C-alpha cells in the first residue's frame, strides 16, 4: 500500500498548496471562506490523486495536471455542500467538521457550492492546463460527467428512490451509482490521458470497475463502519429502508463483488506495467478503507 | 425599435428550438422537467440576443452562435432558480409562473439549478461551437464572469448588504451590480467577437455601459413598475430598506444616468456602423422596458 500512500500524500500536499494559491486571489466575503472550508477540510483526495497519477503515467507536467486535479476536488466539494443542505440529506457533519450551512447559513451554502462548481470549469479552462484542445475536452467531459446525464442524474434517481413504492433493483442501483459517483471517478482517472491527448481506454476500464467497487465499499462501510472513523453519520440508508448493494447482495456477496471489481480494475492497467502500481494499490485501498 | 424587436423575436425562436432539441435528449426525471421549466418559460432572452447579434456582426454562423446563446440563458436560469429559493429571495413567482421550488420542491430546485449551470459549460465546450481555442476561451471567460469573482460575488455582496449597518454607497452598489448582472451581460455581448476570434473591445465598452444601464433601469422599475406587467413582486428593495440607484441618485437622477449610459453604449458601436442598429435599439429598450 506504500506507493498509494506516498502518492496520496503528494496529491494532498499539492492540492492544498494550489487551493491556498487560488483562495489567496479571491475576495474575502463569507462565501469565499465557505468555499475554502468546503474544499480544504481534508478528505481523501482520491479524485485528485487519480488525476495526478494518471498524468504521471503519461509524462504530463504536474504543473498542468494540478489544475484538473483541483477542478475535480472543487466539483466534488460543491456536490457535498449542496448534498448536505437541509432540503437534501440534511447533514450537520462532514469529515468531522460542521457542514457549510451549519457553520454559515443556507444561502451561503447554496452560493459557495455554486461558485465551487464554476471554479471547477475555470480551472479546466485555465491556459496553464495545456493546449486549447485539451482544455475544451476537459470542460466538455467534466460537464457531461457532472450534469443532467451524470452526477445530478444519479442524485435525482437517488431522491426518486426515497419515495418509490418498491426498493431499487441491482440494475437500477448500479445506474444510480454510476451517475452519482462513478462518472466523476471515471473522469478523474481518464484526465491524465486526456491531458496527454492519449488513448483513455485502459484508464477508463480501470475507472469503471473502481467507481463501482468504491460505491459497494461505501455501502459496506455504511452498514459496518465506525462513525468516529468515518466522520459522518452511518446506517442512514438502512434506516431509510433504501436498497443498497449490501441489502441486495448480502454482506459477503457485496464484499466478493467489490473484490472481483478490484481485480478487473488492476488487470486493466497492464499496458502501464509496474508504473501503475500506485493506482492498483488505490483500488485495493478503496475496498479496505474505514472512512 | 423594429430591428431590436425583430432580432429579439429571432433569438427567442432560435433559443427555444435549441433548448427543445437539448431537452429531448435528456432523461425524464422531475429534475429535467424542472430545468426545462426554468429555462423555457419565456423571459426577454436579452443575453441570448446579445450573443446572436454580436455573432452576426462578425459573420459567425448562427449554428455556432446558438450554443453560447443557450449557454448564457441556461446560466441565467440557474441563477434565478437558486435566487428564488426560500433561503435566498424566497420568491414564489417568476415571469408569472410558480418558481421551481414551489412547483416541485427545494431539493429539485437546487439540483435543477446545479445542472443548468453545468449545461452552460457543456454548451460552450460543444465541438459544434467552433475551434478548440474559441471553446476553451468561452468556458474560461464564462467561469470568470459567473463565479466567485463575478456573479456569485455580486450576490454575496447583496446578501451582506442586507445585514449591513449602513446602506451601500454608489461605488459599492456599482461594484455589487457589476458582479450580479453586469459581468454576464458583458460576456453575452462579447461572445460574438470571441466566436470570431476578433477584438472584443467595442462590444466590451458597449456592454459595460449597457449592463449598468440595465441595473439602474431595474431599480427604476422596482420603484415605479406595474407588478402585473413585470410578472414578479416589486418594491422589495424599498421595503427591505436597501440602497438602490434610485435611493442614491433620486428618480430623475437615475433616469438621466441611465440615458447617459445608453448614449455611451451606442457610441461604442461606431466601428460597426449601421449593422449594429439592433444593438443600439436594445440599449434604448433596456431603459424603457416594463418587465
The CATH number covering residue B248 comes to 1.10.600.10
Closest in B110, B125, B142 to A82, CB measured: B110
**Which burial class, exposed, middle or buried, applies to B272 when counting CB atoms under 10 A from its CB (0-12, 13-18, 19+)?**
middle
Kindly state the helix (H) or strand (E) to which residue A52 belongs, with its residue range: helix A46-57
Distance (Å) from the C-alpha of residue A140 to the closest C-alpha of chain B?
5
Q: How confident is the model at residue B238 (pLDDT cuts 50, 70, 90)?
A: low
Does residue A38 have a pLDDT over 70?
Answer: yes
Averaged pLDDT, B82-95: 92
For chains A and B, CB pairs below 8 A equal: 165
Q: How confident is the model at residue A22 (pLDDT cuts 50, 70, 90)?
A: very high
A68: its cell numbers? 484538473
B136: its cell numbers? 476553451
Residue pair A75/B117 in contact (Cβ under 8 Å)? The answer is no
Asked whether residue B85 is assigned to any structural domain, the reply reads yes
Beta bridge partners of A97: A94
Asked whether residue B291 is assigned to any structural domain, the reply reads no
Predicted confidence (pLDDT) per residue in A220-243, tens digit: 988 887 776 666 667 676 667 788
Counting the structural domains of chain B, the total is: 1
Q: Is A102 within 8 Å of chain B by CB?
A: no
Closest C-alpha to A207, from A189, A184, A194: A189
Averaged pLDDT, A80-100: 92
A31: its cell numbers? 462565501
Averaged pLDDT, A3-28: 96
> What are the C-alpha distances in Å from A141 to residues A98, A123, A124, B74, B209?
32, 14, 10, 18, 36
> What are the C-alpha distances in Å from A40 to residues A32, A76, A126?
12, 12, 21
Averaged pLDDT, A237-250: 83
Q: Is B128 within 8 Å of chain A by CB?
A: no
Question: What is the average pLDDT value for chain B, to the nearest integer?
Answer: 93
User: pLDDT at position B241, please?
Assistant: 73
Asked whether residue A77 is assigned to any structural domain, the reply reads yes
Predicted confidence (pLDDT) per residue in A198-208, tens digit: 999 999 999 99
Q: Are A132 and B132 inside 8 Å of each other by CB? A: yes
User: pLDDT at position B225, please?
Assistant: 73
Q: How confident is the model at residue B231 (pLDDT cuts 50, 70, 90)?
A: low
User: pLDDT at position B230, please?
Assistant: 67
Averaged pLDDT, A30-35: 97
User: pLDDT at position A279, please?
Assistant: 97
Q: Are A114 and B27 inside 8 Å of each other by CB? A: no
Higher pLDDT, A231 or B39: B39
- The sign of the CA dihedral A22, A25, A31, A34 is positive
Beta bridge partners of A94: A97
Averaged pLDDT, B34-58: 95
Predicted confidence (pLDDT) per residue in B90-113, tens digit: 999 888 899 999 999 999 999 999
Antiparallel, parallel or unpaired: β A97-98 and B97-98: unpaired
Does residue A133 have a pLDDT over 80?
Answer: yes
Highest mean pLDDT among A160-174, B28-42, B131-145: B131-145
B250: its cell numbers? 433620486
Q: How confident is the model at residue B259 (pLDDT cuts 50, 70, 90)?
A: very high
B37: containing domain: 2-286
Q: How confident is the model at residue B232 (pLDDT cuts 50, 70, 90)?
A: low
Q: Is A149 within 8 Å of chain B by CB?
A: yes
> What are the C-alpha distances in Å from A236 to residues A91, A181, A227, A243?
11, 17, 11, 11
Higher pLDDT, A42 or B271: B271
Share of residues in chain B with pLDDT > 70 (%): 96
**Chain centroid offset of residue A229 CA:** 19
Q: How confident is the model at residue A111 (pLDDT cuts 50, 70, 90)?
A: very high
Asked whether residue A291 is assigned to any structural domain, the reply reads no
Kindly state the helix (H) or strand (E) to which residue A97 belongs, with its residue range: strand A97-98
Q: Which residues of B touch A122 (CB under 8 A)?
A: 140, 143-144, 147
Q: How many Å apart are CA A8 and CA A50, to the nearest integer?
A: 9
- Secondary structure of chain B in HEC code, one letter for each residue: CHHHHHHHHHHHHHHHHHHHHHHHCCCCCHHHHHHHHHHHCCCCCHHHHHHHHHHHHCCCCHHHHHHHHHHHHHHHHHHHHHHCCCCCCCCCEECCEECHHHHCCHHHHHHHHHHHHHHHHHHHCCHHHCCHHHHHHHHHHHHHHHCCCCHHHHHHHHHHHHCCCCCCCHHHHHHHHHHHHHHHHHHHHHHHHHHCCCCCHHHHHHHHHHHHHHHHHHHHHHHHCCHHHHCCCCCHHHHCCCCCHHHHHHHHHHHHHHHHHHHHHHHHCHHHHHHHHHHHHHHHHHCCCCC
A80: its cell numbers? 457535498
Share of residues in chain A with pLDDT > 70 (%): 96
A223: its cell numbers? 452498514
Predicted confidence (pLDDT) per residue in A55-67, tens digit: 999 999 999 999 9
Q: Which residues of B touch A132 (CB under 8 A)?
A: 131-133, 135-137
Residue from B129, B148, B162 whose CB has the most chain A CBs within 10 Å, to mutate: B148
Q: Is A153 within 8 Å of chain B by CB?
A: yes
Residue pair A216/A258 in contact (Cβ under 8 Å)? The answer is yes
Q: Are B30 and A160 inside 8 Å of each other by CB? A: yes
Does residue A90 have a pLDDT over 80?
Answer: yes
Predicted confidence (pLDDT) per residue in A158-191, tens digit: 988 888 888 899 999 999 999 999 999 999 999 9
Does residue B76 have a pLDDT over 80?
Answer: yes
User: pLDDT at position B163, please?
Assistant: 82
Residue pair B139/A135 in contact (Cβ under 8 Å)? The answer is yes
Q: How many Å apart are CA A105 and CA B122, to the nearest integer?
A: 30
Tell me the three state secondary structure of residue A98. Answer: strand
Closest in A87, A126, A143 to B140, CB measured: A126
Averaged pLDDT, A18-45: 94
Does residue B289 have a pLDDT over 80?
Answer: no
Q: Which residues of A touch B30 (CB under 8 A)?
A: 156, 160
Question: What is the average pLDDT value for chain A, to the nearest integer?
Answer: 93
User: pLDDT at position B226, please?
Assistant: 75
Amino acid at each position: 500500500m506504500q506507493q498509494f500512500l506516498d502518492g496520496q500524500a503528494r496529491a494532498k500536499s499539492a492540492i492544498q498548496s494550489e487551493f491556498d494559491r487560488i483562495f489567496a486571489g479571491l475576495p474575502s466575503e463569507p462565501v469565499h471562506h465557505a468555499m475554502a472550508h468546503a474544499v480544504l477540510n481534508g478528505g481523501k483526495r482520491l479524485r485528485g490523486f487519480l488525476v495526478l497519477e494518471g498524468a504521471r503515467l503519461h509524462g504530463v507536467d504536474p504543473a498542468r495536471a494540478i489544475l484538473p486535479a483541483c477542478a475535480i476536488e472543487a466539483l466534488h466539494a460543491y456536490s457535498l455542500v449542496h448534498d448536505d443542505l437541509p432540503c437534501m440529506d440534511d447533514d450537520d457533519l462532514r469529515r468531522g467538521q460542521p457542514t457549510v450551512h451549519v457553520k454559515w447559513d443556507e444561502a451561503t451554502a447554496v452560493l459557495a457550492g455554486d461558485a465551487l462548481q464554476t471554479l471547477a470549469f475555470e480551472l479546466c479552462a485555465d491556459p496553464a492546463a495545456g493546449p486549447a484542445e485539451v482544455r475544451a475536452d476537459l470542460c466538455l467531459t467534466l460537464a457531461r460527467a457532472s450534469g443532467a446525464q451524470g452526477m445530478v442524474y444519479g442524485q435525482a434517481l437517488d431522491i426518486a428512490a426515497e419515495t418509490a413504492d418498491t426498493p431499487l433493483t441491482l440494475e437500477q442501483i448500479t445506474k444510480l451509482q454510476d451517475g452519482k459517483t462513478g462518472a466523476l471517478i471515471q473522469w478523474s482517472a481518464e484526465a491524465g490521458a486526456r491531458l496527454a491527448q492519449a488513448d483513455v481506454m485502459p484508464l477508463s476500464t480501470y475507472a469503471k470497475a473502481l467507481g463501482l467497487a468504491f460505491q459497494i465499499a461505501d455501502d459496506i462501510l455504511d452498514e459496518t463502519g465506525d462513525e468516529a472513523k468515518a466522520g459522518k453519520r452511518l446506517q442512514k440508508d438502512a434506516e431509510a429502508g433504501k436498497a443498497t448493494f449490501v441489502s441486495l447482495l448480502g454482506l459477503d456477496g457485496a464484499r466478493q463483488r467489490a473484490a472481483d471489481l478490484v481485480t478487473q480494475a488492476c488487470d486493466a492497467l497492464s499496458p502501464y506495467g509496474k508504473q501503475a502500481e500506485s493506482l492498483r494499490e488505490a483500488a485495493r485501498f478503496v475496498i479496505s478503507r474505514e472512512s
